[in-house]
Structure 1
Amino acid sequence: MKHNPSLLQIMRFFPLILGWMFGWMFSPFVAAFPEQFSATYTVSVGDTIMGEANWSLKPTGGGHYRYDAVTFPTGFISLFYKSRRTEHSEWHYQGDRIRPLLYRYNRGGKKDRKVKVVFDWDQGIVWNTAKGKTWEMPIPPGTLDKNVCVLALMQDLARGLRDFEYPIADGGRIKTYRFSFVGEEVFDTALGRLQTLRIKRIRENATRETTYWCAPKFDYLPVKVVHREKDGKIITMRISEFFG
């Protein structure tokens, strides 16, 4: 028997949902990679819709791009929880690979938080700013910010790769994000019946689990994301609109 969460549970877990969501041309290998797109998702815990997420990519001129991911509460829950979270990335291509230049994170509401990461590729460092303090950190070649990681995943799926590993500047240190192909699946979505590749994020010695369903029809954009927390709570994103 399914049990929907109570309002108290919904309000308690919505900050977790927002945090998890933030915390996915020039080469023939990426010729099919979208120049721009906008995708909207419903966000739910169990069978209860909690909010929406919007991912958008667009060129800004001079070979540069911006990618934004925004999550916010909707419906009844928005009467009680006003927080809105935004991740913003600016980047360009280095050869055929995404090279981030700037990352910003902003969480509104009662627990306001802002983070800024500036990539200095000439010196091989990033400048992190959080809680009023700024510090530098060395980075290896190919380092991404955690927001554009999903774009790199889409790009590599289009190349035919099925196992992925990315160095990510996250939380003031370099983390390694690993993903692996686990199968194919066809299912119905708001955009119709879609063939997808199921990709799982590999976390060693972790009880959390995240799986992405990426659709070749939409340049391997995730059309569904399921995250299982340590306590067993399941958070799901499902695509509802796509423009590109």
Structure 2
Amino acid sequence: MTRPCTRALQALLLGVALVPGLLWANPAATPLQPYSAEYKTMAHGMELTLQRQLESNADGSYTLTNGGKIMVVGFHEVSVFRVDGTEVVPRSYVYQGSGLINRRREVHFTQGADTLRSLYKGKWYELPYTEGTLDRMSQLEQVRLLLLNRDDPRGDIPVRVADARKIKSYVLEFVAEETLDTPLGALRTLHFRREHDNPERKSDMWLAPELDYLMVRTVHIEDGNPVEMILTSASLGDPAQDAGQAATGR
């Protein structure tokens, strides 16, 4: 496999980590609903189908899974967290690649501790923890929870994520309200953008209010090469309680 091909696969399989932030406590907060979603991801002419699912657990926590496979490579990632008002409180994150891109990442949070542990390239790192720090997956649910409970969701979102050897902080900037044509039909969305220090990189995401702010589309550009992800199907709510609910709108 050529190097450009391998880099394209890595871009597809690692996905685009774009979101989440620092929130306020609200005991009457609108909760997260379980969901399942399917995305199509495209880069360098290659296409990957991603399966993403949020499940609520008996102990009140949530499990978010995400994964896909293309050719002889694949990945699976799992984030476990709980919700306190409008704050996502992460417990653990595990990413496992397979095939040609066989890599593993982990992040573990300990309640009450001022540090967290992160596994990257076979080495463990101890990183400083402050309230509001999330992992690559739980951040996706934090931004949804924030928007579900904001009086006006059209605002910037501060971000702090534990990833690899660093704690990364940035701002997800609100761009505009936009209507997108999607496989689910026309959807009203909120467009956010993450600016990078490197001008060759840019990340944009579109979230649909009528789907509880599920991510509908993302575009990540690096070195002039775009990686796009689009929502192709979604189901909101606990399938055990409402197996027939298909989210083509609310």
Scaled by the length of structure 2, what TM-score is found?
Answer: 0.82
Aligned 8 A contact 1:178 1:203 in 2: no
Equivalent position SS for 2:15: helix
Equivalent position SS for 1:140: coil
CA distance in 2, matches of 1:22, 1:83: 20
* TM-superposition CA deviations, 1:44-65 (whole Å, max 9, x none): 126x351111221001111111
Equivalent position SS for 1:61: coil
Give the aligned partner of residue 226 of structure 2: 234
* TM-superposition CA deviations, 1:8-28 (whole Å, max 9, x none): 85555122222234686x843
Identity of aligned pairs, percent? Answer: 27
Within 5 A, what are the aligned runs for 1:64-83? 64-73=61-70, 78=71, 82-83=72-73
Give the aligned partner of residue 42 of structure 1: 40
Within 5 A, what are the aligned runs for 1:105-144? 105-144=95-134
Counterpart AA for 2:94: R
Query: Greater relative contact order (Cα 8 A, min sep 6): structure 1 or 2?
Result: 2
Give the aligned partner of residue 28 of structure 1: 28
Flag structure 2 segments of 5+ consecutive residues without an equivalent.
Answer: 20-25, 237-250
Scaled by the length of structure 1, what TM-score is found?
Answer: 0.84
Shift of 1:141: 1.1
Counterpart AA for 1:39: A
CA distance in 2, matches of 1:204, 1:15: 21
Task: Specify whether residues 112 and 29 from structure 1 end up closer, same or farther in structure 2 by C-alpha distance, changes over 3 A only.
Answer: same
Shift of 1:180: 0.9
Shift of 1:69: 1.7
Task: Specify whether residues 130 and 209 from structure 1 end up closer, same or farther in structure 2 by C-alpha distance, changes over 3 A only.
Answer: closer
Give the aligned partner of residue 167 of structure 1: 160
Within 5 A, what are the aligned runs for 1:167-206? 167-206=160-199
CA distance in 2, matches of 1:198, 1:11: 30
Q: Over aligned residues, Cα RMSD in angstroms?
A: 2.2
Task: Specify whether residues 110 and 8 from structure 1 end up closer, same or farther in structure 2 by C-alpha distance, changes over 3 A only.
Answer: closer
